[in-house]
Amino acid sequence: MQESSPATTQTTSEAAHGSPAQAQPSLPILIGTAALLALALALTVPFQSDWWQVLILGIVQGLTEFLPISSTAHLLITADLLNFQGSIGGTFEIFIQFGTVLAVVGFYIRDLLYQARAVLGRGVTDEAVRGARRFWLGILLAFIPAAVVGLTLRDWIKTVLFESPAIIATSLILGGIIFIVIERVPRRTQVVSNLENVSFRQALGVGIAQVFALVPGTSRSGASIVGGLLAGLDRRTATAFSFYLAIPTLGAATMVDLLSNLDQITGDDIGRLLLGTVVAMIVGWLSIGWLLRYVANHSFVAFGIYRIIAGIVILALVFLGQL
């Protein structure tokens, strides 16, 4: 017998608006998170003198992943300024992104479980099944461009682009200018305000835009949000689509890099990786809710201005020989 509960269209729409029901973690999740944090601290603090640097970098990742200001740029620059030695060739910075994947899953867990049932065609209406399958096909379509380009150019990106503060600064500035310009462009009369109404063509547009985020300083969320705005999504829908797209994008990037560098990871690194990931997850969960509330009543101009200022500061540090 099929449920008469709201179809995925309604559930996903609520997700896009960050409903309070989805934003409240359950007691088991809180206890589990606290236990993971305690374990990570126990494995790191007594044995690693740089545990406080890991803590800072986890906070930076969680704060910046979902804001359109480039978490990679902030991580790389912060690690450089802290003289952090536990990068493992960039694997640390990439791996702790998994914490923000868990943040998305935790924030939207009710909606994700409902959509999983809908995709499998279990206990929901035919309309919900069609809507959920269409939505996740769109996410898959948006994921493919960055996955293909990222795998092809992975080594060059890590060895060349990740090592250039000047490229990071330039990307921040250009992205900031683009955000300001986008917000000044007249809006279309018809915009998509529901995730399940995002067409495959619009999803592909978001995916192509996300390719530019392979350049550190561009911002994965920023690129995908701009792509969504240009494709005809409203700010809240473009932002929510970016969050869901983070699940396969960051999850795949983390797994590929981890498997490729397992031989470089030592027992001392496990505590660092766990601590950075857990902290990024906690802070990332908080930043999702904040950003969804922010975009309900504000434009992205402030982020554009911040990016320009941050880029100029980084260029100044490069000029002064600090980076």
Degrees (nearest 5) of the Cα angle 82, 87, 90? 120
Q: Which two tokens stand for residue 25?
A: 């973690």
Residue 233: beta bridge partners? 192
- Answer yes or no: are the C-beta atoms of 227 and 205 closer than 8 Å: yes
For 216, other C-beta atoms within 10 Å of its C-beta total 27
Contacts of 308 (CB under 8 A, 6+ apart): 172, 173, 176, 177
How many other C-beta atoms are found inside a 10 Å radius of the C-beta of residue 172?
A: 30
DSSP, res 214: G
Does the structure show a pLDDT above 50 at 111? yes
CB 169 within 8 A of CB 217: yes
150-178 pLDDT tens trace: 999 988 887 888 778 899 999 999 999 99
Tens of pLDDT, residues 241-278: 999 999 999 999 888 888 888 888 888 888 899 999 99
pTM of the model: 0.83
How confident is the model over 201-217, as pLDDT tens digits? 999 999 999 999 999 89
Q: What is the pLDDT of residue 173?
A: 96
The rounded mean pLDDT for the chain is 85
- SS3 label, residue 322: coil
* Confidence (pLDDT) at 139: 96
C-alpha to C-alpha distance for 76 and 95, rounded to whole angstroms: 13
Q: What is the pLDDT of residues 58-77, one digit of tens each?
A: 999 999 988 999 988 899 88
* pLDDT per residue as tens digits for the range 11-23: 444 444 434 345 5
DSSP state of 195: G
Question: Is 90 exceeded by the pLDDT of residue 86?
Answer: no
- Residue position matching structure tokens 């923000």: 100
pLDDT at residue 188, as a whole number = 65
